[in-house]
Structure 1
Amino acid sequence: MKKIILATGNQGKVRELNAMLKSHYIIVSQKDLQVEEVPETGSSFIENALIKARNASFQTNLPALADDSGLEVEALDGDPGIYSARYAGEEATDEDNISKLISNMEQHQNRSARFCCAMVFVENAEDTKPIIIEKYWNGEILREAIGNNGFGYDSIFYLPDLQCSSAQLEPEKKNLLSHRGQALNELLRHLISS
């Protein structure tokens, strides 16, 4: 089986992606190979995912998979967006970010939001034809956290059709429906057919 490096230090993402890919690839976290992270200086999810994938591939000489994802809230003009992981500061925890978002949403009736995932696969650091996929998952922002599964903003991301938060879904169900799951499934189709 082919080895792919996952260009993320986020253990929640490593678990999710590994669960979805393990039947096709040997997945190695960039943390396991001591890849030094580079600043995410892009102005979009796609740019940041490309930066991460090229960096991991350059340092390991392995094909690399990276995603950059986050939460876009309509009433906040798309914030926290590409700053989702550090919304409440560089060292912010998930709880810090959730508290800030709930506070910033107090005055808003419009609770519409979406998760966005840009996923990039490069064969090598110089790959001129990277596979780039962007997918969305629509929902609403809750006024308080519900559920214990997932990570990030999952506990305040409400899915009206399912009448639960993302953090109340079983991992297998979330992996089918989520922005990351959709992007990864499409990526797998590309990889298997190429």
Structure 2
Amino acid sequence: MTKVLLATRNAKKLIELQRILDGALGAQRIQLVGLGDVAEYQEVPESGLTFGENALLKAREGVKWTGLPTIADDSGLAVDALSGMPGVFSARWSGRHGDDRANLELVLAQIGDVPDQHRGAAFVCAAALVLPGGKEHLVEGRQAGRLLRAPRGEGGFGYDPIFLAEGQDRTNAELTPEEKDAISHRGKALRALAKVIAKTLSVGDGGGWANR
């Protein structure tokens, strides 16, 4: 197996990406490790104004400090009635980074008086792969839908319990992991990135990476 760093401390995200890569790459297996599995380094602030900028920032730092090919993603919720916010601030919308419940409740409160027909939203994910030689790849996936008025479901994380994707009668939090992977923003982005990984993974040199 080829070891790749996923620049996150989110265990659920690590499991999710490993599952997606296993399904997409088949025999070309990737062993993902998270930030908790490598020597600790000072993580760069997510100072970008776009999901892509933040994903690249994190991936570059991972390569710099570990020497491993690094995948990083930045994702969030873009709410129509909030002019695309919380966007890159999705994980810290309530002021406390990673407080999923507080973030969700704040968004619901902010659009509490918005009619159902205007509660459109989209999940957006930018995923970056940076190789030790400096080559960079960036892809993006989107999942369109609308926001409910109350959470439903126990699965997923973040804003999943209030997000109903187009064509679905269950929230992301009510879907099985496999169902969610098939339609989610992260699933779309990471399957696109998996294709890039398959092309850049050199078969002839023991699983090394071609810098292309």
TM bucket (normalised to shorter chain) is over 0.9
Counterpart check, 1:27 vs 2:32? yes
CA distance in 1, matches of 2:98, 2:197: 35
Tell me the residue number matched to 1:98: 104
Mean CA deviation greater in 139-148 or 151-160: 151-160
Measured at CA, do residues 100 and 50 of structure 1 come closer, stay the same or move farther in structure 2, by a change above 3 Å? same
Partner SS, residue 139 of structure 1: strand
Measured at CA, do residues 89 and 161 of structure 1 come closer, stay the same or move farther in structure 2, by a change above 3 Å? same
CA distance in 1, matches of 2:48, 2:31: 28
Candidates 133, 137, 142, aligned match of 1:131: 137
CA distance in 2, matches of 1:82, 1:134: 14
Counterpart check, 1:17 vs 2:47? no
Tell me the residue number matched to 1:60: 66
Tell me the residue number matched to 1:74: 80
Counterpart check, 1:151 vs 2:157? yes
Give unmatched runs, 5+ long, in structure 2: 201-212
Tell me the residue number matched to 1:7: 7
Number of matched pairs: 192
What TM-score do you get using the length of structure 1 for normalisation?
0.94
CA distance in 2, matches of 1:43, 1:160: 27
CA distance in 2, matches of 1:18, 1:89: 30
Is contact 1:72–1:78 with CA below 8 Å preserved after alignment? yes
Deviation digits for residues 153-190 of structure 1 (CA, Å, limit 9, x no counterpart): 00000124121100000001111110110111111112
Partner SS, residue 37 of structure 2: coil
Candidates 161, 173, 185, aligned match of 2:179: 173
Q: Which one-letter code corresponds to 1:66 in the other structure? A: A
Deviation digits for residues 91-134 of structure 1 (CA, Å, limit 9, x no counterpart): 4511000110000011212110000000000112x61x311001
Flag the structure with larger Rg. Answer: 2
Q: CA RMSD in A?
A: 1.3
Deviation digits for residues 27-64 of structure 1 (CA, Å, limit 9, x no counterpart): 10012212432110111000000010011111101000
Q: Which one-letter code corresponds to 2:34 in the other structure? A: S
Q: Which one-letter code corresponds to 1:84 in the other structure? A: S
CA distance in 2, matches of 1:107, 1:158: 18
What TM-score do you get using the length of structure 2 for normalisation?
0.87
Mean CA deviation greater in 155-164 or 64-73: 155-164
Is contact 1:149–1:169 with CA below 8 Å preserved after alignment? yes
CA distance in 1, matches of 2:50, 2:83: 15
Q: Which one-letter code corresponds to 1:114 in the other structure? A: A
Counterpart check, 1:36 vs 2:42? yes
Shift of 1:90: 2.9
Q: Which one-letter code corresponds to 2:139 in the other structure? A: I
Spell out structure 1 runs of 4+ moving beyond 6 A. none
Shift of 1:65: 0.1
